[in-house]
Structure 1
Amino acid sequence: MWLPRQPWFAEGESTDLVRVGSFRFDDPEGEVGVETLLLASKGAVFQVPLTYRDSPLDGANAGLIGTTEHSVLGTRWVYDAARDPVYASTLATTILSGQPQAEQLLDVDGHLELIAETVQLQGSGIPGTGVPAVTSAVPETVGCLTTIHTGHIDLLVSGVLDLSGLTSGQKILTATWAEQSVPVQLASAVVV
């Protein structure tokens, strides 16, 4: 199992994980699925960003979590999103330009139905703000924080969320969900 092997995941937490919410970002190219799960256990909430691809991501074997079968799309390679440039790009865009999360749809008997958002996101950026192109994602994890180096932007992503509402940095992404009315910082961006 991938999650218990992460340095920010406390030993023994995996037995009672509960999904408290999730959200998606749109890949502008429409090729990569980008989803983040928020999972709770024993009072802690973990942020688990994932990407889904139709073929292996070159150079990212260390981030491969596994494969899954999608009913329409077929085999999907599931990655720790911190190693995926598409995740880094969509996260940077959301933080720096305030771009909203993607709508989630469910196919019900051939008709697409909108799934209600379980997480409400707020990027600190201003719509229309330009975002440098992201073509690489090199993660470095220290404690509960993963820094994704992209060359032009460093993205700091929390593995374990601070539910107190304290924030750090000016360019940030926060979230609320049913059990969390105080905005929680998920990530921040530093233009280098």
Structure 2
Amino acid sequence: MAIIHHTTLKPTKLELLTAWLPTRPWYVGAGEPRPVKAGGFRLDDPEGEVGIEFMVVTDDSGPGTVGYLVPLTYRGAPLEGAEHALVGTMEHGVLGPRWAYDGCHDPVLVDRLWALIEGRAEAQAQSVTDAVDREVTRSYAGPGLGAGPVAAPVVEDSASATLLAAPDGTTLRLHRVLRPAPQGAALPPEGATGHVGGAWQLPDGARARGLFAALYADGRG
């Protein structure tokens, strides 16, 4: 169980994202981003070493407000071989130095996301310790993925998503640019064997629901 510390971060997560978002191929804003935290959830690391957060931010630096899904991991030491995925470093008021990574490149987040899709893990509230996030939905209709570590996927960014392709041909499509689902139902797309859906707050205060990730057994992604 991850313990949520209500303390200071220097720089803040949003300050890190202000510098990092424009470096991503799926970022569609103009000029300097103005990210606002709008939602998300956490997953627990069974070893208790890595913080795992799926953050939703909205940004109105372009013609309209856009929502982005940003999976992040927080570590107490650098992750070997993941220098290219470093979002930045922070000083945590309780835990000390923290290294923040694009979670798609962190094996702990990938393993826990697979576990969430299959139903072996529960989404946790973003800012409350030991509280299940009931707004997060998931489904899985494929064969058992097993409880062992997920083989390292090949990670590739596109104009609107990040694809995680496993050696067995399974592909997870993580939707970076979020779109509210019709009638507010975040359902798995056609051909998907699993999905994760979630909610975030729009600038007018309304609550949106949409697809966060979809799993494909045939690699279509």
Q: Which range, TM-score by smaller chain? A: 0.7 to 0.9
Offset of residue 74 of structure 1: 1.3
Q: Is residue 2:12 matched to residue 1:12?
A: no
TM-score for both structures, normalised by structure 1: 0.81
Q: 1:16 to 1:103 in 2, by over 3 A?
A: closer
Which is strand-richer, 1 or 2? 1
- Amino acid of the residue matched to residue 121 of structure 1? V
Structure 2 alignment gaps of length 5 or more: 1-18
Offset of residue 146 of structure 1: 0.7
Partner SS, residue 88 of structure 1: helix
CA contact (8 A) 2:40 2:199 kept: no
For residue 162 of structure 1, what is the aligned residue in structure 2? 179
CA contact (8 A) 1:104 1:114 kept: no
From 197, 204, 217, the equivalent of 1:174 is 197
For residue 110 of structure 1, what is the aligned residue in structure 2? none
TM-score for both structures, normalised by structure 2: 0.72
For residue 189 of structure 1, what is the aligned residue in structure 2? 215
- Amino acid of the residue matched to residue 72 of structure 1? V
Partner SS, residue 89 of structure 1: helix
For residue 109 of structure 1, what is the aligned residue in structure 2? none
For residue 77 of structure 1, what is the aligned residue in structure 2? 99
Q: Is residue 2:86 matched to residue 1:64?
A: yes
Partner SS, residue 112 of structure 2: helix
Q: Distance in 1 between matches of 2:132 and 2:117?
A: 22
Partner SS, residue 86 of structure 1: helix
Structure 1 alignment gaps of length 5 or more: 107-112
Q: Is residue 2:49 matched to residue 1:31?
A: yes
For each residue in 1:103-158, what CA deviation from the matched residue of structure 2 results, as whole angstroms up to 9, or x when unmatched?
4566xxxxxx77895x82111138xx653521524311122111113434432101
Q: 1:67 to 1:137 in 2, by over 3 A?
A: farther
Q: Distance in 1 between matches of 2:149 and 2:216?
A: 14
Aligned residues: 183
Offset of residue 67 of structure 1: 0.7
Partner SS, residue 2 of structure 1: helix
CA contact (8 A) 2:195 2:211 kept: yes
From 139, 152, 163, the equivalent of 1:124 is 139
- Amino acid of the residue matched to residue 22 of structure 2? P
For each residue in 1:42-78, what CA deviation from the matched residue of structure 2 results, as whole angstroms up to 9, or x when unmatched?
3321001100111111111100111111122211111
CA contact (8 A) 2:78 2:99 kept: yes
- Amino acid of the residue matched to residue 119 of structure 2? S
